[in-house]
Amino acid sequence: QKEVEQDPGPLSVPEGAIVSLNCTYSNSAFQYFMWYRQYSRKGPELLMYTYSSGNKEDGRFTAQVDKSSKYISLFIRDSQPSDSATYLCAMHGAQKLVFGQGTRLTINP
């Protein structure tokens, strides 16, 4: 069993929809939770970073962490075609950083 599980998709939604991306994890030592966005032929870039359980908002993006369920989510409101990318969750703890497999998202105009 992988330490971090993420559905690779692909996920395709119409423009303007709310997108929900999720990851589950098994290692209780993970304390920091991140979401990276990776455009085609580019390296990943940090999108959001959270430490505690709860919600964190940044514009159209909301990151949610539920440590009791070992479950994290990224919500994208009013999705745009420019949001089309692969989204990777990442978790840090016990001196290691582990990435999810990434979910490929396409926003259709």
Partner 1 sequence: KAGVTQTPRYLIKTRGQQVTLSCSPISGHRSVSWYQQTPGQGLQFLFEYFSETQRNKGNFPGRFSGRQFSNSRSEMNVSTLELGDSALYLCASSQTVSGELFFGEGSRLTVL
Site residues for partner 1 per CB under 8 A: 6, 8, 41-46, 49, 88, 92, 95-102
SS3 category, 4 = strand
Comparison of 40 and 82: residue with beta carbon closer to partner 1: 40
34: CB partners within 8 A, 6+ apart: 46, 47, 48, 49, 50, 89, 90, 91, 92
Smallest gap from Cβ 99 to partner 1, in A, equals 4
Comparison of 38 and 62: residue with beta carbon closer to partner 1: 38
Q: Distance of alpha carbon 2 from its chain centroid, rounded?
A: 16
Comparison of 17 and 101: residue with beta carbon closer to partner 1: 101
